Amino acid sequence: MLLVAVGMPILAGFRGGMAVFAGPTVGFLVSWPFCTYLIGSLVQLNHTKHQLMGYIIANLIGGMLLMNLMGGIGLTLVTHISLGKALWSCLIFFPGDIVKAVIVAIVAWRVKQHHFIKL
């Protein structure tokens, strides 16, 4: 986020700088730290079992639902459309988001099983 704020063009379309925080994707950008915290917290709640389903649920709730909710709120604030319409517009991304959340959960779960990292 700091690199984006100072102008590093690391976002989609090689965008960066403070202007991206005034655009319609501001909610998605701002949600990143909150989503990572929520995912980590949910995985920690599952730490004694280390079941794959716990990792998947953590990614779906933290990585998909929270991000789309905050993204929808940001979209509403910037474009002045209703929250319902903003959230409805996010639905098109749900199939891809679900696939990515499951893949990331499987990778994290497998890495944890092999003790490459301590979660």
pLDDT at 118 over 70: no
3-state secondary structure of 12: coil
pLDDT at 93 over 80: yes
Of 46 and 58, the structure prediction assigns the larger pLDDT to 58
Percent of the chain predicted with pLDDT > 90? 48
- pTM (2 d.p.): 0.81
109 has which bridge partners? none
Q: Average pLDDT, whole number, for the chain? A: 87
Instruction: Kindly list the distances between the CA atom of residue 119 and the CA atoms of 66, 94, 116, in Å, as whole numbers in the listed order.
Output: 21, 27, 10
Complete domains list, the chain, with CATH: 23-113 (1.10.1760.20)
Distance between CA 69 and CA 27 in Å, rounded?
Answer: 8
